[in-house]
Amino acid sequence: MKTKKPNAFLNKVKQYSGALTILVVLLVVLALTTKTFMRVDNILSVLRNISVNGLLAAGITCVIIIGCIDLSLGSTCAAASVISVVLNTSMGWNVWISIIVAILVGGFIGSINGIIRAKTMLPPFIITLAMQQTIRGIAYVFTEGTPIISTDNTFNAIGKLSWPTIYNAAGEKVFEGIPVIFFIMIVALVIVDIILSRTRLGRHMYAVGGNMEAAKHSGISYTRIAVSAYVIMGIMAGLGGVIMSSRLYSGQPTIGVDFSTDAIASAVLGGTAFGGGYGSIMGSFIGACIIGVLNSGMSHLKIDAYWQMVVKGILILVAVYYDSIKDDLKIKRKKKAEG
């Protein structure tokens, strides 16, 4: 008798069923309670906002998988934002070289976090909190606390370009197109997903997060894994900072103050285990979509900004709590099915 092979697509849907259910429910509720949320221009705006948070969620997923955290990602965004505009506009560097250098600076900041963690084994919360203050302070000193205006049209176009733009027979625009920065995010997420799911480095990250001591005894270098995870986080934050600069037409030392909250919430909502050892880029992307829809929806419902913070804080708490008890729930369901 032939056994039926499990359907890979259905398995994926089942794996992310919780997050997908939340996303669908949110979309339905907002479609029914607001007249403007499901408009095309608003959906495109949501995609733009998801683009940066999606990058940060992918980076923080790698860090959480190895059992760490990064509170400095918002400051890293600010540093990359300032550097990209200063090099391009103030110093006259080529726009693409300026962008690459800014992203690499993000990776360098991440490597410092990883090295300090690996060599001192101080709590990641403390390390990245200190780095958050240090990098933000440097950005303020460097710019004297004021935005630096970008005058490069190519740089400024990155944040507003869309594709494909569709016109009718009369030559009138009927569809603006999907933001290019959304496609940039998708490409970055695919690369990080390949690293996590198809390389030895990715397997070692999961091993370290699952059991650090066992991973060390099996010959895995904790320093290499910690630095790699934080470098990925830094690169994603650097790219996010460049995108924000392009959207704002300026290098902003003040951006990213609340970015950590949304990124961590996206990862945890997407199923990343806060204790390490489990998580996926697809799950974190779905989590980023939930946060993007939630942010936009609460604005359309005219919910006060302070109450929006309360809602997201409670959401993180609930998600982390569910993550802590879900294994027990699985065991109980299994025992109930057996008996």
Using pLDDT thresholds of 50, 70 and 90, give the confidence band for residue 328: low
Based on C-alpha coordinates, what's the Rg of the chain? 21
Whole-number average pLDDT of the chain: 92
Ranges of each domain in the chain: 36-323
Fold category of 36-323 in CATH: ABC transporter involved in vitamin B12 uptake, BtuC (1.10.3470)
Rounded average pLDDT over 89-94: 95
Chain segment 146-188, per-residue pLDDT in tens: 999 999 999 999 999 999 988 888 878 888 899 999 999 999 9
Report CA torsion sign: 277, 195, 73, 282: negative
Q: Write out the two tokens for 128.
A: 């990245």
pLDDT in tens, 288-312: 999 999 999 999 999 998 898 898 8
Taking only the tens place, the pLDDT of each residue in 216-267 is 999 999 999 999 999 999 999 999 999 999 999 999 999 999 899 999 999 9
Interior CA angle at 58 toward 57 and 63, to 5°?
A: 90
For the segment 206-219, what is each residue's pLDDT rounded down to a tens digit? 999 999 999 999 99
Q: What is the DSSP letter of 61?
A: H
Give SS3 for 93: coil
pLDDT at 1: 46
Place of tokens 């996303």: 23
pLDDT of amino acid 18: 85
301 is written with which tokens?
């419902």
3-state secondary structure of 250: strand
Alpha-carbon distance 135 to 75, whole Å? 6
Q: Which segments of 66-162 does DSSP mark as H helices, in order?
A: 73-85, 95-120, 124-143, 153-158
Contact call for residues 66 and 208 (beta carbons, < 8 A): yes
